[in-house]
Amino acid sequence: DAKTTQPPSMDCAEGRAANLPCNHSTISGNEYVYWYRQIHSQGPQYIIHGLKNNETNEMASLIITEDRKSSTLILPHATLRDTAVYYCIVRVASNSGYALNFGKGTSLLVTP
């Protein structure tokens, strides 16, 4: 799987958009970008994933650059409950199954 690079920490004011970047410059054409988050004492929570096109769901939006070497997860109106560690993961969609490599992620602190 391609390696990802994320800033170790970020702050965001409550109610503002949180934009979390991820670099994956060695991504291959068949690798997807996944985002998860982990709130203290809970298991990782799936947020969103995409291959080439931008994606949006009820939780967030995923913007993938045209060359696919980086992406941004956008939480449009951050709340205090969005404080968590956010993980950007790149992996192949394989019928053989694939373990996820979570790395260190970005610790997002949403402040009042």
Sheet containing 106-111: order of strands:
9-13, 106-111, 84-92, 31-38, 45-50
Q: How far is the CB of 43 from another protein (least distance, A)?
A: 4
DSSP 80: G
Q: How far is the CB of 46 from another protein (least distance, A)?
A: 4
Beta bridge partners of 92: 31
Which of 45, 56, 65, 79 is in the footprint of another protein by CB under 8 A?
45
Which of 14, 102, 107, 109 is in the footprint of another protein by CB under 8 A?
102
Q: How far is the CB of 13 from another protein (least distance, A)?
A: 27
Q: How far apart are CA 43 and CA 85, in angstroms?
A: 11
- The answer to whether 53 contacts another protein (rule: CB under 8 A) is no
Coil, helix or strand at residue 69: coil
Q: How far is the CB of 15 from another protein (least distance, A)?
A: 28
- The answer to whether 13 contacts another protein (rule: CB under 8 A) is no
Which of 49, 63, 107, 109 is in the footprint of another protein by CB under 8 A?
49
Selection from 75, 89, 8, 85 nearest residue 41 by Cα: 85
